[in-house]
Amino acid sequence: MAKRLLAGLCALSLLLPAAPPVWAQDRLPALGEAASDDLSVGNERRLGEQIMRDIRRDPDYLDDPLLLEYLQTLWQPLVAAARERGDIASDLDQQFAWEAFLVRDRSVNAFALPGGFVGVHLGLIAMTNTRDELASVLAHELTHVSQRHIARGMANSARQSLIGLAGMILGIIAASRSNRTDGANAIISGSQAAAIQGQLNFSRDVEREADRIGFAVLTKAGFSPGGMAAMFEKLDQSSRLNDSGGFPYLRTHPLNAERIGEARSRMGTAKPAPPVSVLAHTAAQARAKVMMDARVDALRRWQSLEALPTASVSDKLMVAYASALASTLLRDWARADTSLQLALGLVNGSPRSDAQAQREVVLLQVQSLLARGDAARAADALQPYARGNGAPASRAVMLLSAQVAMQLDKPALQRSVEEMQTWTTLHPQDATVWSQLGRSWQQLGHGLRSLRAEAESRIAVGDLTGGVDRLRAGQKLARSNPSADFIEASVIDARLRDIESQVRRRELEEKRPEG
């Protein structure tokens, strides 16, 4: 069921009335309008968090630090541009998550959730040829969030408990992707659920607004004005050639000639963006293509380098990067090294190359070296991107450095732990870093700190029961060891009381009758 829920999330960004009011196309909608009054900003964020708890525990939720970091290089400038334009009201800015995340799914899709969460399928990244095409989709989804389109469509349902509403939405989403009518009927129950399902259609007015504001955000952030039109045309052509259900984005965001024409016409009025190398995006595209299907037979198909002789530089990098990653996952080190050397030669020797493309390939090389236990070479390759060399803070580099340190020496591991502790202070919901921190503390012999980090990792993904279990184990360890770290033991006691209180509140909310 969890996999079906995540696969069907494409429909959630459609929670709009079947016959919505016609909004004027020459103004920004007022965020305080009555259409969204029933679902406050705070409640919308809480609803999004409740839905994300299910998503984060789903096996198709993907935290790949390298690919996620590339996605952030597109997402963060868009959010900053929307702020600068005044599209994001102050209450939304403070309370919404503004978080983009990855979904391991081959279908071409992206979706917005309540509270500022935007999901991106690997299939979407894999079919885009430039960063501008992908950024145009992100800008469109960001506009659905900033203009509170979801809250407006859900206003009539907001009187239900948030837990009940979240469960109902997830059930409807799962049913929207079900091929079996009886399965859909089993998931959707009650007149309220049926009423919400009747809202699962975007209106033309809302789509136009998301296109118009999204285009302005796209260009303000420095992306090419042609990105949105190119993406629309690519989606339209691809769906015509292969309408086999692999393009849910077109079912949730239907294209028509008018929308495509408007996207083209906007190109002539926007300031052109300076040209940017496509090679960094090519590396991300190749990574998405390999990771969206990790079966052995699929990985073996990516290992081939036969397409290289007559291909363009971008195509060659696509093949070489994909072959190197697939070979690494298959632990075929000889092929991995051959492909890595080819990819490094392409990004270092091409006039179209840039530092970001080189960095993407080097980080893949580090991943490959770590997988085979060659920490010394991995450390050498990673050194230019370490923070000590003036490089900006990077989550991907930090996590790779932690893995390197675990294979090297205690001083390096201690430095890595300190960096991760600082990170978790600023990003307390980062489950992956908490998990790595737990393993690092364990290797350093700090069992109490390791248990607390493991607990925080489980809490961050919404597994409060698992978090309580780890915290209680920490309490037991502290009480059995008179020399245990008193401060850490006190932190564990306080966190346990807080999380147990959250568990009780959640149980009460789930038992509360809806209405």
Q: What is the pLDDT along the chain (515 residues), one digit of tens a residue?
A: 444 444 444 434 433 333 332 223 333 333 334 444 567 899 889 889 988 988 898 889 999 999 999 999 999 999 999 999 999 999 999 999 999 999 999 989 898 888 999 999 999 999 999 999 999 999 999 999 999 987 776 654 544 556 666 665 555 445 444 444 344 344 334 434 444 444 444 467 788 899 999 999 999 999 999 999 999 888 887 766 555 556 777 666 777 777 888 888 888 777 888 888 899 999 999 999 999 998 999 999 999 887 666 678 899 999 999 999 999 999 999 999 999 999 999 998 766 667 899 999 999 999 999 999 999 999 999 999 987 666 667 999 999 999 999 999 899 999 999 999 999 999 999 999 999 999 999 999 999 999 999 999 999 998 999 999 999 999 999 999 888 888 999 999 999 999 999 989 888 876 665 54
Residues β-bridged to residue 100 = 118
Within-domain flag for 256: yes
Q: What is the 3-state secondary structure (H, E, C) of 373-418?
A: CCHHHHHHHHHHHCHHHCCCCCHHHHHHHHHHHHHCCHHHHHHHHH
3-state secondary structure of 112: strand
Residue with tokens 């994300």: 52
For residues 117 and 98, what is the distance between their CA atoms, to the nearest angstrom?
Answer: 6
Q: What is the pLDDT of residue 383?
A: 93
Q: What is the pLDDT of residue 38?
A: 61
Q: What is the pLDDT of residue 236?
A: 81
Alpha helices in 155-295 (DSSP H): 162-176, 181-187, 191-197, 204-220, 226-241, 248-252, 257-267, 279-291
Q: What is the pLDDT of residue 391?
A: 64
Q: Are 381 and 419 in contact (CB under 8 A)?
A: no
3-state secondary structure of 65: helix
Q: What is the pLDDT of residue 104?
A: 94
With vertex at residue 212, the alpha carbon angle to CA 231 and CA 109, rounded to the nearest 5 degrees, is 40
Give 3-state DSSP helix, strand, coil % of the chain, rounded to 5: 70, 5, 30
Within-domain flag for 454: no
Within-domain flag for 465: no
For residues 411 and 413, what is the distance between their CA atoms, to the nearest angstrom?
Answer: 5
Q: What is the pLDDT of residue 241?
A: 57
Is residue 17 classed exposed, middle or buried when 0-12, 13-18 and 19+ CB atoms within 10 A define those classes? Answer: middle
For residues 29 and 94, what is the distance between their CA atoms, to the nearest angstrom?
Answer: 19
Q: What is the pLDDT of residue 5?
A: 45
- DSSP for 439-456? HHHHHTT-HHHHHHHHHH
Residue with tokens 């490094």: 344
Say which residues have a Cβ less than 8 Å from residue 90's Cβ, sequence separation at least 6.
none
Alpha helices in 303-332 (DSSP H): 313-329
Within-domain flag for 44: yes
Residues β-bridged to residue 112 = 118
Say which residues have a Cβ less than 8 Å from residue 153's Cβ, sequence separation at least 6.
14, 15, 16, 17, 20, 199
Is residue 42 classed exposed, middle or buried when 0-12, 13-18 and 19+ CB atoms within 10 A define those classes? Answer: exposed
Q: How far is CA 203 from CA 151, 197, 375, in A?
A: 14, 14, 54
Q: CA nearest 316: which of 336, 343, 291?
A: 343
Q: What is the pLDDT of residue 505?
A: 86
- E strands, 168-273, are none
- Could you tell me the maximum CA-CA distance found in the chain, to the nearest angstrom? 73
Q: Are 24 and 33 in contact (CB under 8 A)?
A: no
Query: Which helix (H) or strand (E) covers residue 102, if one does?
Result: strand 99-103
Query: Which helix (H) or strand (E) covers residue 101, if one does?
Result: strand 99-103
Within-domain flag for 74: yes
Q: Are 54 and 3 in contact (CB under 8 A)?
A: no
For residues 25 and 27, what is the distance between their CA atoms, to the nearest angstrom?
Answer: 6
Name the DSSP class of 200: B
Domain with 163, as residue range(s), is 2-267
Q: Are 370 and 408 in contact (CB under 8 A)?
A: no
Residue with tokens 């990003």: 427
Say which residues have a Cβ less than 8 Å from residue 144's Cβ, sequence separation at least 6.
13, 112, 150, 206, 210
Question: Would the CA dihedral through 437, 460, 88, 129 be positive or negative?
Answer: positive
Name the DSSP class of 278: S
Question: Would the CA dihedral through 351, 353, 355, 361 be positive or negative?
Answer: negative
Name the DSSP class of 428: T
Q: What is the pLDDT of residue 303?
A: 94
Q: CA nearest 252: which of 199, 181, 200?
A: 200
3-state secondary structure of 328: helix
Say which residues have a Cβ less than 8 Å from residue 255's Cβ, sequence separation at least 6.
232, 235, 236
Within-domain flag for 9: yes
For residues 104 and 126, what is the distance between their CA atoms, to the nearest angstrom?
Answer: 11
Full-model pTM: 0.85
Q: How many domains does the chain have?
A: 1
Q: Are 421 and 441 in contact (CB under 8 A)?
A: no
Q: How far is CA 369 from CA 266, 296, 378, 402, 426, in A?
A: 47, 20, 6, 14, 30
Within 10 A of 365 (CB to CB), how many other CB atoms are there? Answer: 21
